[in-house]
């Protein structure tokens, strides 16, 4: 008999080598959350610099109260999909509020951001279509492409000229063409040069999707994402986002002005066959969205914090993943062993960051990845810089 788990022995061995160097960087347990930026791990207080809690909204009293109210009024869960069990009024209210926030006509809410990518990509593209994908895209995007059955063509990261060449060579005249970009790329924090890609739309007659998971609430004068920042929202046909970053909850969404967009509800298996989001999660997301719209100063503080950390790291001579400031700030490491050692040193000194190693990173990069929050104080940002100076440089 072939043991089905034998193929995972190399993963187990790699994991063992990691924990032999110190803590389990992939399984840290927060025993108590003190604030959006601090937690107790065992008997130690840790500064959190790797949570993607960009707006620092997870402890907002208004969001917590909305979640509690939803528990009282709607119970703990939906116990089924919206196709089978119907929707709660909260789901429809959140979709309407999101569409309003985005300035779009249609919005569909998913239970997770991962499912939003699975559903949207598999609903939009099929076996006769072609998806042109930035090579550095998130794993959930790749998985959505696989589920779609579409032909997949990867182009070099942020390289519209390479996309142009690959589209010119494409011989698929029967199906549609979908180009997929991300607003802020999750590992190194750079963003797509949207204008370069929008300029190609007339030449190659494709539709454009932007995954704003890490840029929703963050980029643009209204916080709507990459298109908002570039003033090119009309050039983007479909937007995907998540509630697990700036919104501080769990869930995801797809949105568009396309007149047939609502038909995707009956074509996306990850939407049709998954239990819908719990009332408390939907209610907190709805309240958080209203707060983000009403309090642009959160974005201003996020960018002040991000610039402070970025410039602090650059002053230390650290090699950055991107030369453009964003709330995702990654520091390059020479190899996996060094990354693990430096992560343990940071953690021992009271700072939690993400340890990012292959295959979860582009181009086999090894990174110490930070994500900045609007809730970080300047004192916390300076402490993070000081700890990096002491144990990483």
Q: pLDDT by residue (tens digit) across 98-153?
A: 999 999 999 999 999 999 999 999 999 999 999 999 999 999 999 999 999 999 99
Residue 137 CA neighbour count, 13 Å, CB half: 28
Q: How far apart are CA 272 and CA 108, in angstroms?
A: 12
Do residues 254 and 239 lie in contact, with contact meaning Cβ atoms separated by under 8 Å?
yes
Tens of pLDDT, residue by residue over 273-327, are: 999 999 999 999 999 999 999 999 999 999 999 999 999 999 999 999 999 999 9
Long-range pairs of 17-20 with CB within 8 A, sequence gap ≥ 24: 18/340
Answer yes or no: is 147 within a domain. Answer: yes
Residue 272 CA neighbour count, 13 Å, CB half: 11
Residues 255 and 342 in one domain: no
Residue 367 CA neighbour count, 13 Å, CB half: 25
Do residues 248 and 57 lie in contact, with contact meaning Cβ atoms separated by under 8 Å?
yes
Residues 69 and 190 in one domain: yes
Residue 170 has pLDDT above 90, yes or no: no
Domain count, the chain: 2
Residues 229 and 251 in one domain: yes
Answer yes or no: is 8 within a domain. Answer: no
Do residues 184 and 193 lie in contact, with contact meaning Cβ atoms separated by under 8 Å?
no
Residues 144 and 250 in one domain: yes
Long-range pairs of 200-207 with CB within 8 A, sequence gap ≥ 24: 200/160, 200/163, 200/164, 200/167, 201/235, 203/164, 204/164, 204/167, 204/168, 204/177, 205/177, 206/132, 206/167, 206/176, 206/177, 206/178, 206/179, 207/124, 207/176, 207/177, 207/178, 207/179, 207/237, 207/238
- pLDDT reported for residue 213: 97
Do residues 93 and 66 lie in contact, with contact meaning Cβ atoms separated by under 8 Å?
no
Residues 352 and 255 in one domain: no
Residues 382 and 281 in one domain: no
Answer yes or no: is 5 within a domain. Answer: no
Residues 280 and 311 in one domain: no
Residues 84 and 35 in one domain: no
Answer yes or no: is 12 within a domain. Answer: no
Structural domain including 152 reads 61-294
């Amino acid at each position: 008999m072939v043991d089905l788990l034998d193929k995972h022995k190399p993963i187990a061995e790699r994991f063992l080598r990691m924990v032999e160097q110190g803590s389990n960087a992939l399984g840290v347990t927060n025993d108590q959350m003190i604030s959006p930026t601090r937690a107790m791990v065992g008997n130690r207080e840790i500064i959190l610099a790797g949570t993607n809690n960009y707006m620092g909204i997870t402890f907002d009293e208004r969001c917590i109260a909305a979640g509690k109210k939803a528990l009282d009024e709607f119970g703990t869960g939906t116990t089924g999909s919206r196709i089978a069990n119907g929707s709660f009024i909260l789901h429809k209210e959140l979709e309407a509020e999101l569409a309003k926030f985005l300035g779009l006509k249609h919005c569909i809410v998913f239970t997770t951001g991962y499912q939003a990518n699975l559903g949207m990509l598999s609903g939009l593209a099929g076996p006769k279509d072609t998806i042109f994908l930035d090579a550095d895209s998130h794993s959930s995007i790749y998985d959505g492409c696989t589920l779609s059955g579409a032909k997949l063509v990867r182009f070099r990261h942020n390289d519209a000229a390479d996309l142009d060449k690959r589209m010119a060579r494409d011989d698929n005249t029967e199906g549609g063409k979908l180009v997929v970009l991300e607003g802020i790329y999750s590992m190194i924090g750079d963003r797509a040069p949207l204008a370069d890609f929008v300029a190609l739309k007339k030449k190659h007659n494709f539709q454009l999707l932007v995954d704003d998971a890490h840029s929703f609430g963050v980029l643009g004068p209204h916080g709507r994402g990459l298109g908002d920042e570039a003033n090119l929202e009309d050039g983007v046909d479909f937007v995907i986002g998540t509630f697990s970053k700036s919104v501080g909850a769990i869930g995801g969404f797809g949105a568009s002005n396309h007149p047939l967009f609502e038909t995707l509800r009956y074509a996306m298996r990850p939407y049709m066959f998954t239990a819908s989001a719990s009332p408390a999660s939907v209610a907190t997301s709805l309240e958080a969205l209203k707060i983000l719209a009403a309090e642009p100063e959160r974005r201003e503080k996020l960018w002040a914090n991000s610039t402070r950390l970025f410039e602090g790291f650059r002053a230390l001579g650290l090699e950055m993943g991107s030369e453009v400031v964003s709330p995702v700030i990654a520091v390059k490491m020479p190899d996996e062993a060094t990354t693990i050692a430096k992560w343990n040193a940071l953690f021992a000194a009271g700072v939690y960051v993400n340890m990012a190693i292959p295959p979860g990173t582009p181009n086999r990069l090894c990174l110490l990845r930070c994500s900045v929050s609007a809730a970080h104080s300047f004192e916390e940002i300076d402490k993070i810089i000081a700890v990096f100076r002491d144990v990483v440089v």
